[in-house]
Amino acid sequence: MSDTVETAARTAPAAVIVGIDGPSGTGKSSTSKAVAAKLGLRYLDTGAQYRAITWWMLSNGIDVNDAAAVAEAAGKPEIVSGTDPSAPTITVDGADAAGPIRTQEVTSAVSAVSAVPEIRTRLTELQRAIAAEAPAGIVVEGRDIGTTVLPDADLKIFLTASAEARAARRSGELKGKEATDLAATQAALVKRDAADSGRKTSPLAKAGDAVEVDTTELTLDQVIECVVTLIEERRSA
């Protein structure tokens, strides 16, 4: 090994694996993307993968409430995630799925599809493979990253926020909506959280060794700063 290569190997920080979990609208995606971009890490949105497979089921006429039919089709679509935090991508069988996976139809169906064990096994394997290939490390966000997908992650974060704050954030994304929509948005968030927390296989849950960050009263910049500080502390420990 040349001196230069040897010095670089000694000084380059080891790959860092970060898992960020939490209920819907707590800021997982915004925080994870920004933290990964700041620290030169890859970024994986596992919710986008569950949405993508749900979109494929709906597009192929599979009844998402028929767990046996969903399980039988679980291995069929090819899901590919691009992990550049400044331009994350998701394709299904080669087609760009970034737009279609955000429709109300997919949002309403995704909890049923993601409760099917065969779906979880398939995507958990994919997520572990992506994390293992990230040279400098990766920020992976979802619902079961700390408990199931990456139980040996260097840092686990569990983001929370009040249902009111999360609904207000989501409504802010949909400018021009009436006040009554805020209540409907909150009810939909709470319903999806209950389904995600209540399923048998790898439910939404805080890992025992995760750091909980309540973002209700924090700006997004404050949450990003907090997570960056926690990662730097782990790296220097």
Residue ranges at the known binding site for ATP: 22-30
Stretch that binds ligand ATP, among 5-13, 58-66, 109-117, 213-221 (CB under 6 A): 213-221
With 0-12 / 13-18 / 19 or more C-beta atoms within 10 angstroms meaning exposed / middle / buried, residue 226 is middle
Among 16, 18, 21, 27, binds ligand ATP (CB under 6 A): 27
Quick check: 46 and 123 in contact, CB under 8 A?
Answer: yes
Binding-site ranges for ligand LCLUPRNS (CB under 6 A): 24, 46-47, 50-51, 110-111, 114, 142-144, 192, 196
Q: How far is CA 19 from CA 29, 88, 151, in A?
A: 12, 17, 9
Binding mask 34-73 for ligand ATP (x = CB under 6 A): -------------x--------------------------
CB atoms within 10 A of CB 184: 13
How far is the C-alpha of 172 from the C-alpha of 182, rounded, in Å?
Answer: 10
- Binding partner selected for residue 223 from ligand ATP, ligand LCLUPRNS, none, CB under the kind-specific 5 to 8 Å limit: ligand ATP
Cβ pair 150, 206 in contact under 8 A: no
How many residues bind ligand ATP (CB under 6 A)? The answer is 17
Q: Report DSSP state, residue 153.
A: -
Min CB(48)–ligand LCLUPRNS separation in Å: 6
**Least distance in angstroms from the C-beta of 217 to ligand ATP:** 9
Helices (H) and strands (E) in the chain, counts: 9, 8
Q: How far apart are CA 153 and CA 47, in angstroms?
A: 18
Would you say how long the chain is, in residues? 237
For residues 60 and 219, which CB has a smaller minimum distance to ligand ATP in the complex?
A: 219
**Burial class for 60, CB neighbours closer than 10 Å (0-12, 13-18, 19+):** exposed
Q: Quick one: which of 15, 62, 163, 218 contacts ligand ATP (CB under 6 A)?
A: 218
Least Cβ distance, residue 207 to ligand ATP (angstroms): 17
**Which partner in ligand ATP, ligand LCLUPRNS, none is near 51 (CB below 5 to 8 A by kind)?**
ligand LCLUPRNS
Ranges assigned E (strand) in 117-202: 137-142, 155-160
**Is 137 among the residues that bind ligand ATP (CB under 6 A)?**
no
Residues 146-205 that bind ligand ATP (CB under 6 A): 169, 172-173
Q: Using CB under 6 A, list all residues that contact ligand ATP.
A: 22, 24-30, 47, 169, 172-173, 215, 218-220, 223
